[in-house]
Amino acid sequence: MSGFSSQELLAIFAMQGFAGVSFFSVLLLMALGLAIIYGQMRVINMAHGEFMVIGAYATYLCSITFGALPGMMDYYLFIAIPIAFGSAFIVGYIVELALIRHLYHRPLDTLLATWGLALIMQQGFRSAFGAREVSVAVPGWLRGSYRPTMMIDIPLNGIAILVLTLLVTLGVWWFLYRSRWGLRVRCTTANRDMSGAVGINTKRVDRITFALGCGIAGIAGAAFTTISSTGPTSGSLYIVDTFLVVVFGGAGSLVGTIASAFSIAQAQSLMEFFLGSSMAKVLTLLTVIGILLIRPEGLIASKVRR
Amino acid sequence: MMTKYTKLSQLRRLLITGIAALPIAIAMSSHVLAAPPTAEVNTTGLAVTDDTVHVGILHSLTGTMAISETGSVEAEQLAIEQINAQGGVLGRQIVPIIEDGASDWPTFADRTRKLLTQDNVPAIFGAWTSASRKAMLPVLERENGLLYYPTFYEGLEESPNVIYTGQEATQQILAGINWAWNEQEARTFYLIGSDYIWPRTSMKIARIHIEEVLGGEVVGEDYAPLGHTSFGSNINRIRLRRPDVIFAAVVGGSNVAWFRQLNAAGINSENQTLLTISVTEDEVLGIGGENVEGFYSSMKYFQSLDNDNNLAFVEAFKERWGEDSVIGDVSQAAYLGPWLWKAGVEKAGSFDVDAVSAAMADIELTTAPEGYVKVHPNRHLWSKTRIGRWNEDGQATVVWESDLVEPNPFPEGYQ
Amino acid sequence: MNIMNSLYRLFQGRHGSLGSILLLAIILMVVMPMMFDIYRLNLAGRYLTYAFVALGLVLCWGYGGILSLGQGIFFGIGGYAMAMFLKIEASDPVSTSIQSTPGIPDFMDWNRLTELPWFWVPFNSLTLTIIAVLVLPAAFAYLIGFAMFKRRVSGVYFAIITQALAVVLTILIIGQQGYTGGINGITDLRTLHGWDIRDDSARYLLYYLNAILLIGCLLIGRWVLNCKYGRILSALRDKEDRVRFSGYDVANFKIFIFCLAAFISGIGGAMFTLQVGFMSPSFIGIVPSIEFVIFAAVGGRLSLVGGVYGALIVSFAKTMFAEAYPQLWQFLIGAVFIVVVLVLPYGLASVYGRYGRRLFTPVKDWFSKRKANSSGASAGLKEKRS
């Protein structure tokens, strides 16, 4: 690394830091929905990636529809994100009603059933949109980079996703800890029978929570159209990483999920920088597994009796 | 599936013998006119009758590879239909038997065995990934089949049972790098690819060529696992090394993420030259033309090629498969397969695999959409390397083309 | 006494009656070779290698409650061990004379290796290879199992971690192509000690060997389940804490069954390589690993023979349906997952248990009547049994 001025190294350092932060926001946005669902009802949703793809395709459709209108191209994302959330939310609601609620007492079976669901959804996308990846146009103001100095380029879409992630996280926090619904959710998590006894409709709570988790995946899908591929199987690219984030964070803890997404993202992008992507991925996965063995309850354990 | 095609061909036969036979017979050269007796052109029990010949088409119609392989199936079918319309091969209509490899390598081997031992086809057009070709290879050699393989690939193979209609690695890479060296005056290169055999082999060749032949410098080499979606760190590494040219071979879903993030990081054609060997018109559909605009691809074929062969080919393709279809490098190479086989059969005067295989060397095709091609004795094609500059509409403008490049699957000094 | 006891268990146990295993043996050894031509039979042989893994999953998932989404790891280790031996044999100095270093596998030569890496050297010997096939998967499973079960990692966590391990292994194999053959895998395997594994007679022989090994593994599984061990295993699946409080070391039981499942899967992998003629990382990752689970689930997670039928039925259905209706197949297999889990958690075996058995009751009655008639003669034996 000789031949670089300290200024340049600093610039690289800053950009590399942002690469990690950007990866962190991607992981967190994906993991949030999964973590809520897992924390609430111990269901691992293997179709989470496909809910993300619902959001992505919803965004794709929006970009086509609104892209045709003059002057709307730059702002369609603001419409697309709520639509992506809504469509994933509705599908999630239906799936819970038809499938998941029958399986709450058999967590391993949900894993299989949702895998089957994922296959069906993938084929559904393929039949509806074709097997090829589609290209979602990125609004002009999200392209390119922000240059605070001559040497630093911060991707604008990275910043946008970061902001979105923070907003969604805040929203989830508010929902869980400040709203009446959140109180019910936390009640049900802590003691399902007692919650039922005091008049909380636990089934309804489950349904809303599941649908909400799926909706957040939809938002992730909308956001990811700006940075990666949109195709029938795009969701599966994230799924292993996301599971590990949730499990590593300690089930059901919002703080834990954030901490775990942050540490995994930073560790991986740092290693990527020095060792290359393949080795970084392998080492990150192995480290996470290793830590999980030492601390099976994850980074931050939820204090719930099971 | 077979019955369907047989029926179709009966209809065609009627049509052709009834209506088209006269003008065709006049137009075609003498050996077609007197379609030679089957016993003469088929001494090895192949699926050849007095007026039909069955061939195999073996690609993934389902599974993860289906996206990539569909174009090849379409091109091969188109070629076969066109050949049939011209009177077929040695007076026999070609009937394709389409099998599905299902993106599963043992299935490719199984289907190959089925095509060769049950259907007795004289030729198979198919395979896309190297892994599927490698799985088919032992069966082809054992049952003595003939495969026309369309994909550009890493080389390091020269089987008597395969005709490689795509480029081997050096044909795609060396001329491309020379172009960057001469035209762009690039002296430092950064190599990045997906982590598997084709990019790794390609990068090995590129590195040797840059460092030992040209005397330039490779300032970095990076591989991302298949399906990788966050390229932030890789892009920073590139930034740190400040290469004149980024030489890329990223594939699949990663390809989209790679170009989108590159663009977002402020690296675009205005401040960086990028040459890739993994982007064709097919890939641009998913990446988005605005994200590759101004970057370069090194291929032998682009849909926008401006010659009469290609204009006719593109028109026929769109008429057959829809106005929206795009044609990438591999689809064109797949299209060559049936035509080359036809030429081989006619040169050998026989459908027998050994005879056709022996006749393949030095066959020329002047009607190829990519222009003139010729089969090398090592069973690869002589072909040109072209550098295309991508436009926002997803088409490329050819900015440079080489002379015919000799295929060299075992490049001396590059291993 | 002990021998009598084990014999009794072998023939009379609760899990997987010997009759059903016998029926399966007849189907595999007599019916299928008669019905199928060599092409189909070879296909069936390939599917039967998946049945090994399904069988292992019945043991560790159905009975032990341990769902592993990484069984491809063990299938792969077994398969790669066998492939390495065959590849070394196929790469003799004569047939690789065009390489810059003759006598090593071609992909090593392309990656500028000049000698066999150390971990390839043992695979020069067939004996060591067979030992590796039998021991390595179980040893690796022991490592994973020891680390996890001792730390009481279980359930969903275990499933996710094994899945991640399968991903790690796939990335490593694809990335280290000089040592592993990369994404293409280890291909072009021809002979086993000079015996051509690709001609028809070899295919028949391998098919039968495969079937015999499978029946053997079934019997082992059945024997294990009918031991006292099998009952404790089911108990800890249903109420782990109780078993622990009763003084058993739960972890050791889990480790054992997980290793057994890996051992059986490894044999399947080796047979796969022999019958298909190559091995590649696409049989290790997430997708194949989950496919193995669906085989076990469709067949019936509590039925040893069910796993075998599951593997055969799903695979054959896939071959036939996927060709004719590729789109429909994806929907169908997804629906099968859901229906099996929702409606038929114990798979096809439970359908048989509910309805099929009635078909055989008249036969059984007849047998028991005859038994009653001749009970005087065998009274002594019966006493011993009790």
Residue type, B78: L
Cα→Cα distances C317→A115, A126, A297, C47, C276, Å = 19, 21, 41, 11, 20
Count helices and strands in chain C by DSSP H and E runs: 19, 2
Reference A63, options A55, A53, A73; nearest CA is A73
Q: Is C93 on the interface with A (CB under 8 A)?
A: no
For residue B196, the model assigns a pLDDT of 87
Please check whether residue B94 is in contact with residue B121, taking contact to mean a CB–CB distance below 8 angstroms: no
> Residue B182: is it exposed, middle or buried by C-beta count within 10 angstroms (0-12/13-18/19+)?
exposed
Q: Is C190 on the interface with B (CB under 8 A)?
A: yes
Q: Alpha-carbon distance B390 to B281, whole Å?
A: 9
Virtual torsion, Cα A228, A232, A233, A235, nearest 10 deg: 60
Q: Alpha-carbon distance B354 to B368, whole Å?
A: 25
DSSP C255-315: HHHHHHHHHHHHHHHHHHHHHHS-B-GGGTSHHHHHHHHHHHHHH-TT-HHHHHHHHHHHH
Residue of B nearest to A274 (CA): B237
Reference A83, options A221, A203, A231, A288; nearest CA is A221
- A76 three-state secondary structure: helix
* Mean pLDDT computed over A37-45: 84
For residue A138, the model assigns a pLDDT of 83
Q: Which of C184, C190, C326 sits opposite B197 (nearest CB)?
A: C184
Q: Is A241 on the interface with B (CB under 8 A)?
A: no
For residue C368, the model assigns a pLDDT of 64
How many residue pairs bridge chain A and chain B with CB atoms within 8 Å of each other? Answer: 139
Q: Alpha-carbon distance B189 to B216, whole Å?
A: 8
Of the residues C187, C189, C287, the best mutation for testing chain B's interface (the one with the most B CB atoms within 10 Å of its CB) is: C187
> Residue B224: is it exposed, middle or buried by C-beta count within 10 angstroms (0-12/13-18/19+)?
buried
Q: Alpha-carbon distance B253 to A233, whole Å?
A: 9
Q: Is C322 on the interface with A (CB under 8 A)?
A: no
Q: Which of B100, B223, B415 sits opposite C322 (nearest CB)?
A: B100
Please check whether residue B152 is in contact with residue B333, taking contact to mean a CB–CB distance below 8 angstroms: yes
Chains that touch B (3 or more CB pairs under 8 A): A, C
Q: Alpha-carbon distance B277 to B387, whole Å?
A: 10
Contact list, A101 vs chain C (CB under 8 Å): none
Q: Which of B1, B138, B195 sits opposite C277 (nearest CB)?
A: B138
Number of neighbouring beta carbons within 10 Å of residue C342: 16
> Euclidean distance between the first and final Cα of chain C, in Å?
12
Chains that touch A (3 or more CB pairs under 8 A): B, C
Q: Alpha-carbon distance A265 to A20, whole Å?
A: 6
Q: Are strands B217-224 and B188-194 parallel, antiparallel or unpaired?
A: parallel
Per the structure block, which two tokens stand in for A275? 């060792």
Residue of A nearest to B289 (CA): A135
For residue B207, the model assigns a pLDDT of 94
- C191 three-state secondary structure: strand
- C111 three-state secondary structure: coil
pLDDT classification of A43: cutoffs 50, 70, 90: confident
- B279 three-state secondary structure: coil
For residue A38, the model assigns a pLDDT of 86
The owner of tokens 């929206």 is: B324
The owner of tokens 């803890």 is: A253
Model confidence pLDDT, tens digit, residues A249-292: 886 678 899 999 999 999 998 898 888 888 888 999 999 988 88
Q: Alpha-carbon distance A216 to A60, whole Å?
A: 17
Virtual torsion, Cα C245, C248, C254, C257, nearest 10 deg: -140
pLDDT classification of C370: cutoffs 50, 70, 90: low
For residue A171, the model assigns a pLDDT of 94
Which positions of chain B have pLDDT values less than 70?
Answer: 1-34
Angle, in degrees to the nearest 10, between helices C228-238 and C200-226? 80
Q: Alpha-carbon distance B383 to B2, whole Å?
A: 35
The ipTM of this complex is: 0.89
Please check whether residue C296 is in contact with residue C58, taking contact to mean a CB–CB distance below 8 angstroms: yes
Instruction: For residue A303, give how far its alpha carbon lies from the nearest alpha carbon of chain B (Å).
Output: 34
Instruction: For residue C367, give how far its alpha carbon lies from the nearest alpha carbon of chain A (Å).
Output: 40
Q: Alpha-carbon distance C351 to A111, whole Å?
A: 23
**Domains observed in chain B:** 44-167+306-379 (3.40.50.2300), 170-299+389-405 (3.40.50.2300)
For residue B31, the model assigns a pLDDT of 45
Mean pLDDT comparison of B11-20, C286-295, C315-324, highest-scoring range? C286-295
Please check whether residue B138 is in contact with residue B106, taking contact to mean a CB–CB distance below 8 angstroms: no
Interface list for A 49-88 with B (CB within 8 A)? none
Q: Is C67 on the interface with A (CB under 8 A)?
A: yes
Interface list for B 134-153 with A (CB within 8 A)? none
Q: Alpha-carbon distance C80 to C84, whole Å?
A: 6
Q: Alpha-carbon distance A144 to B261, whole Å?
A: 9
pLDDT classification of C336: cutoffs 50, 70, 90: confident
Which range is least confidently modeled, A50-59, A190-199, B73-82? A190-199
How many residue pairs bridge chain A and chain C with CB atoms within 8 Å of each other? Answer: 113
Instruction: For residue A112, give how far its alpha carbon lies from the nearest alpha carbon of chain C (Å).
Output: 7
Does A111 sit within 8 Å of C171, measured CB to CB?
no
Number of neighbouring beta carbons within 10 Å of residue A132: 19
Handedness of CA A248, A250, A254, A256 (dihedral sign): negative
For residue B219, the model assigns a pLDDT of 94
* Mean pLDDT computed over C137-160: 89
> Long-range contacts: C227-234, Cβ < 8 Å, 24+?
C227/C9, C229/C253, C229/C256, C230/C15, C230/C63, C233/C63, C233/C64, C233/C257, C234/C63
Half-sphere exposure of C317 (CA within 13 A, CB side): 14
Contact list, A234 vs chain B (CB under 8 Å): 253
Average pLDDT, chain A: 88
Q: Is A129 on the interface with C (CB under 8 A)?
A: no
Reference A9, options B7, B236, B399, C288; nearest CA is B236
* Mean pLDDT computed over C296-303: 90
- Per DSSP, helices labelled H in chain A are 6-41, 48-68, 76-98, 107-129, 156-178, 180-190, 192-197, 202-224, 239-249, 254-275, 277-294
Q: What is the DSSP letter of B100?
A: E
Q: Alpha-carbon distance A244 to C163, whole Å?
A: 10
Contact list, B260 vs chain A (CB under 8 Å): 138, 157, 226-228
Instruction: For residue A289, give how far its alpha carbon lies from the nearest alpha carbon of chain C (Å).
Output: 7
Instruction: For residue C171, give how far its alpha carbon lies from the nearest alpha carbon of chain A (Å).
Output: 7
Is residue C306 scored above 80 in pLDDT?
A: yes
- C239 three-state secondary structure: coil
Does A134 sit within 8 Å of B286, measured CB to CB?
yes
The owner of tokens 């038809």 is: A98
Is residue A44 scored above 70 in pLDDT?
A: yes
Does B62 sit within 8 Å of C330, measured CB to CB?
yes
Per the structure block, which two tokens stand in for C180? 């592993």
pLDDT classification of C15: cutoffs 50, 70, 90: low
Q: Alpha-carbon distance C366 to C386, whole Å?
A: 23
Does B223 sit within 8 Å of A276, measured CB to CB?
yes
Q: Alpha-carbon distance B339 to A144, whole Å?
A: 46
Chains that touch C (3 or more CB pairs under 8 A): A, B
Please check whether residue A36 is in contact with residue A209, taking contact to mean a CB–CB distance below 8 angstroms: yes
pLDDT classification of C4: cutoffs 50, 70, 90: low
Average pLDDT, chain C: 86
Instruction: For residue A245, give how far its alpha carbon lies from the nearest alpha carbon of chain C (Å).
Output: 11
- B403 three-state secondary structure: strand
Contact list, C175 vs chain A (CB under 8 Å): 278-279, 282
